[in-house]
Structure 1
Amino acid sequence: MARTRILVAAAMALLVAATGTAAAGVDLDGPHTARHQAAAREAAALTGSAKLYRPYGDDITFTFDAHLAAKDNMRPEKAYGTFSFSHYVDGGGGWAKGRIDCLVTGGKTAVMTGIVTDSDTPHKGRRVGISVTDDGRHDRVGYSWMSADADELTVPRCTSLPPFETIKKGSGDFQVLQWYPEYPTRP
Structure 2
Amino acid sequence: MSFRAGRRTLAALAALAAGLTLSSTTSAASASGHQEVARPAGASVTGKAEFLLPYHQDDDVRSFAFDARADPYTRPLPGIPTGLPTDARGTVTVSHYSAENDITYTAEGRVDCLVTGVRTATLTAVITEVSPGGPPVLGKRLGFSVYDGGEGKGRSKDRVGFSWNGVNLLPTGDDNPPEDAPVGTCMAPAPYAPVTKGGYTVRHAELPPPPSSSAR
Q: As a proportion of its length, which structure holds more helix?
A: 1
State the 1:123 CA deviation.
Answer: 1.3
Instruction: Kindly tell me the number of residue pairs found equivalent between the two proteins.
Output: 143
State the 1:126 CA deviation.
Answer: 0.4
Alpha-carbon separation, structure 1, partners of 2:127 and 2:179:
14
- Matched AA of 1:154: P
Alpha-carbon separation, structure 2, partners of 1:61 and 1:76:
28
* Residue 180 of structure 2: aligned partner: 152
CA contact (8 A) 1:86 1:95 kept: yes
Percent of pairs with identical residues? 35
Relative to structure 1, the CA distance from residue 93 to residue 122 in structure 2 (aligned partners, 3 Å threshold; closer, same or farther) is farther
* Residue 135 of structure 2: aligned partner: 121
TM-score, normalization: structure 1? 0.67
Q: In structure 1, list runs of 5 or more residues that go unmatched.
A: 1-37
* Residue 46 of structure 2: aligned partner: 47
* Residue 108 of structure 1: aligned partner: 119
Mapped pair 1:175 → 2:174: no
Q: In structure 2, list runs of 5 or more residues that go unmatched.
A: 1-37, 75-82, 152-156, 170-177, 211-216
The one-character-per-residue Cα deviations of 1:74-108 (angstroms, maximum 9, x if unpaired) are: 93442000001111222145221100010000011
Q: Which runs of 4+ in 1 moved over 6 A?
A: none
State the 1:180 CA deviation.
Answer: 1.2
State the 1:173 CA deviation.
Answer: 2.6
Mapped pair 1:136 → 2:141: no
CA RMSD of aligned residues (A): 2.5
Relative to structure 1, the CA distance from residue 51 to residue 58 in structure 2 (aligned partners, 3 Å threshold; closer, same or farther) is same
Relative to structure 1, the CA distance from residue 164 to residue 82 in structure 2 (aligned partners, 3 Å threshold; closer, same or farther) is same
State the 1:151 CA deviation.
Answer: 5.5
Alpha-carbon separation, structure 2, partners of 1:82 and 1:50:
15
The one-character-per-residue Cα deviations of 1:51-91 (angstroms, maximum 9, x if unpaired) are: 0136532110100000013776x934420000011112221
CA contact (8 A) 1:46 1:177 kept: yes
Mapped pair 1:96 → 2:107: yes
Relative to structure 1, the CA distance from residue 76 to residue 183 in structure 2 (aligned partners, 3 Å threshold; closer, same or farther) is closer
Other structure's SS at 2:198 match:
coil
- Matched AA of 1:175: T
Alpha-carbon separation, structure 2, partners of 1:49 and 1:153:
27
Other structure's SS at 2:165 match:
helix
Alpha-carbon separation, structure 2, partners of 1:113 and 1:182:
19
- Matched AA of 2:201: Q
Which of the pair has more CA radius of gyration?
A: 2
Alpha-carbon separation, structure 2, partners of 1:78 and 1:182:
11
Q: Which moved more, 1:111-120 or 1:76-85?
A: 76-85
